[in-house]
Amino acid sequence: MRWARWALAAAAAATLSLGALSFARAGAQAGDDGWPAYGGDAGGQRFSAARQITPANVAKLGVAWEFSTGALSRHKADIKRSAFENTPILAEGRLYLCSPFDAVFALDPGTGKKLWAFDPRIDPGLHYPNSYNCRGVAYWRDRAGHGRIFLGTNDRRLIALDAKTGKPVKSFGRNGTVTFDPGRLTRRAGMQITSAPVVARGVVVIGSSIDDNQRVDEVPGTVRAFDAMTGAPKWQFNPLAGAHVRAGAANVWAPMSVDEARGLVFLPTSSASPDFYASNRPGDDRNADSVVALEIETGRLVWAFQTVHHDVWDYDIPAQPTLGTVTYKGRTVDAVLQPTKTGLLFTLDRETGKPVIPVVERKVPQDGAPGEELSPTQPFPVAPKPLTPNRIKADDAFGFTFWDRGRCRNAIKNARHDGLFTPPGVKGTIVYPFTGGGTNWGGLAFDARQDIAYVNTSNVMHLVTLIPQQDFMRARAAEPDVEISQQKGVRYGMRRAVLTSPFGIPCNPPPWGELHAVDMNSGKVLWSVPLGTTEDMVPFSQYFLGNTGTPNLGGPIVTAGGLVFIGAAMDDYLRAFDAKTGKELWKGRLPAGGQATPMTYVWKGRQYVVIAAGGHEKLGTRRGDKIVAFALPQ
């Protein structure tokens, strides 16, 4: 049965830009609304002023056009190891997008017709940490008015393309390409670039994704900046520099944000290596698991705010920091909104990094594995309340029958779980929410007019078990289909799996995925609704399971028309929700899994909503290679 996908969702948890504010809209009519950057704007608000599609007419949406990247035929052998997480951008009268294999396309926004294509021909047959993946590209226009598309590739190249022709810009780097030395990787595909670069003030910045849980002496998670005109190196930033610990990673694999007026770039950093046992890195890991603000022209650290101290849960920051002006209890501040895997939403002052909504340090469970030095407290914002459950008792176990519910009850009872931040141990620890969220790379959408944030979450559990190194090889041989990693250099390896019943159903009660609206004026959650059904995992199961929601990857967008659009769930739909009430008003069938964040724009007077439908390796959803555009009848 395809319920085994729930187990695969575990890996999705573990894995898991923007152009300049200035952009050309040649060919667009006056009043047309575009989408010039990965997150809608350079600050990642995922808001559109388009209002043609409304709650009153959204039910009439239909497919306007489709475009195939050709990945299904050209990458037959590797498509199963891919994730089509792309969000297109609109600039210079063209849509720009990339396939999971880094092929870049320019399309006519009204018809989906291909205008040009570029294929960097990445290495085939490799297994990258975050699947074959390309979340987006970035657009930038130089002083002479010439547009460039910047692409970061799976095989660690930064490429500049002419926006009009798709040809490499010869004056950038070496014939359009900059490469860098990542350091000593344990394997060739141990590092990749998955999220779009960001560009501002003539500087282009890229991060990277690095293998999880492999070793203490991991390569550093260095963020790199280059001159956008020439490709010459500008600066590098290692989040762990000066921490005086033996560790690597703390990389930036998620999308970044830019405040061009302030000249700041905002980094969401990940956890230091290894993830689940950290005797090698006593202390709070400096700028790991942090929102970090740097001067984009120099790389100078302006401020950093850490959301998890001494992370041993893989609770890195997975989502783009969203820049918006927030009025909380009468005080208006330019802020950074940061959703997290823990289901907590932090709101920080953009100038200083200090909390706009107060954050308190609360005592958390102790008594970690021998040699572990846990932080006695962790930061919790006073509002909003956690967006995901984070505590479960054995009697809360879910199941269809007395038998499978009993198995889940015993599994919960036999594992350690003292709430959020319970440390991993050799007897097994419940990590709830699991390491895929809470919120993952899809981030949130922010309607600054209403001061409302919309954010989706996944609500399932991991069972994480530490394995003494002398038992590691035996454990891996016994369970070859389970994620078991060595964490070389410390005394324990790790085993991680979604906690499911014998039927493959999560052991915690549904909903297993939700969409929320948060009033940033008060910090109150206005509504929460299930997101997704099990329809495409087991046909007709939605009729006896109901609206359970599912784990999800991808984020929401919100429009001035009063709608929230989102795919993300493990069924093949793009959905529209009423922004005021959370009521599901429409869903459009997709040819494959829609584990991507949609975008919307108005072109020649018609509003389109576009989403990548190609499925996802880690969630096991249906594969495809289509970009699908929906619109109202003409």
| Catalytic residue positions, numbered | 314
Structure tokens of 314? 């893989």
Residue 354 CB contacts under 8 Å (≥ 6 apart), including other chains? 305, 348
- SS3 of 127, please? coil
Residue 223 CB contacts under 8 Å (≥ 6 apart), including other chains? 205, 206, 207, 236, 237, 238, 239, 251, 252, 267, 294
- Residues, the chain, total? 634
DSSP H or E run through 73: helix 71-74
Mind spelling out the 3-state secondary structure of 16-51?
CCCCCCCCCCCCCCCCCCCCCECCECCCCCCEECCC
DSSP H or E run through 407: helix 402-414
Structure tokens of 208? 């990277």
Sheet with 513-519, edge to edge strand ranges: 444-447, 452-458, 513-519, 524-530
Cross-strand pairs, 116: 106
Helix %, strand %, coil % for the chain, to 5? 10, 35, 55
Q: Count of CB atoms within 10 A of residue 122's CB? A: 21
Exposed, middle or buried: residue 132 (CB in 10 Å: 0-12, 13-18, 19+)?
buried
Select from 169, 243, 207, 190 the least CA-distant residue to 17. Answer: 207
Structure tokens of 39? 């997150």
